[in-house]
Amino acid sequence: MNTTARGARRTDTTLSDGRQLIYYDPADAPVRVPLEDTRGLPAPKPLAEFRTDPLTGDTITFATHRNTRTYLPPADQCPLDASRPGNATEIPDHDYNVAVFENRFPSFSGPGRCEVVCFTSDHTKSFTQLSQGQARLVVEAWADRTAELSSRPDIEYVFAFENRGREIGVTLSHPHGQIYGYPFLPPRIQTLMARAREYQEVAGSNLFADVLAAERKDGRRVVAENANWTAFVPQAARWPVEVHLYPHRQVAGISDLTTEERDDFAQLYLDVLGRFDGLYGEDLPYIAAWHPAPVRVDRELGYLHLELLSIRRAQDKIKYLAGSESGMGAFISDTLPEDVAEMLRKVGS
């Protein structure tokens, strides 16, 4: 099935085990006729169990089938590459632009949803090396998928993210991210919404909007900006290198961004990623984490933004979450936000 999303052509098909696969191509690209997945995979039978921690109220997910997922395969056997003789992959076609499919080893099954987002068919590239047009196509895929997943009654929060680098724990080196449709509100979002609710009651305004306004006015921690977005190091950054990207207009999710806002995000995000890799002259391990508003509760309090986090505290040093961070949740930072912002600004000068 071919449909047209804003700025992209979407083609839906299924893999041999019934999982959904979606191709995203430029709107002016030739109509894609998807090839058949000939692997003959058995129907997936993932099991997930949710338990509530009585001490914190946090939901803990047990997905033991994930312990057998593919781990750092040889480059010529990557399951995220386009298929070729000798390597039938998750993407049956011989080439693709952006592809999204249901994760074969999902964290959630039944309620919830886990998807893999392949940013490009080029195994050797990273998001940093994508053209602005290709990055923009990824934004369209994010927007389309988050909108569709948000409409499902079993999903409470849609989280698009990317892990890059072995230090982060990446198990497949192909440039890709994931989307989790949580059947519950993650602990961090519960905390952020509680803070936003308290702030709204006292100040009468949106917490995230006021944080953005304060950072833009102060300016010391602003890394880069354009007409619709600002990237800054938060004044109480937890991670050694941490940059948040905010649109200048409060929106709930990626699908709510205008065409111009999507264009400007792609430009600024590639700029910031380039600064990350230029900081120490090599690829910086990072987590890129979208923070939309919750699907149903407190949606008016949320403010879409992206948080970009790296655990590298120096060129040859990693920040490990040791006793205080892991045991108490109390972060102790080795870097000062103002210094990190200045270093990142200099990289792009």
Catalytic residues: 176
DSSP assignment letter at 337: H
DSSP assignment letter at 82: B
Write b or e for each residue in 169-185: b if 16 or more Cβ atoms lie within 10 A of its Cβ, otherwise e.
Answer: eeebbbbbbbbbbbbbb
Residues 6+ apart with CB under 8 A from 5: 24, 140, 143, 144
Pair of tokens at residue 26: 């430029």
68: buried, middle or exposed (CB in 10 Å: 19+, 13-18, 0-12)?
exposed
**Residue 103 backbone class (left: φ over 0; alpha: ψ -120 to 50; beta: rest):** beta
CA distance 49 to 61: 6
* Closest listed residue to residue 59, CA positions, set 48, 47, 46, 69: 48
CA distance 220 to 77: 46
DSSP secondary structure string, 248-309? SS--SSGGGS-HHHHHHHHHHHHHHHHHHHHHTTSPPPEEEEEE---SSTTGGG---EEEEE
- The percent helix, strand, coil of the chain (3-state, each to 5) is 30, 25, 45
Cα 180 to chain center, whole Å? Answer: 9
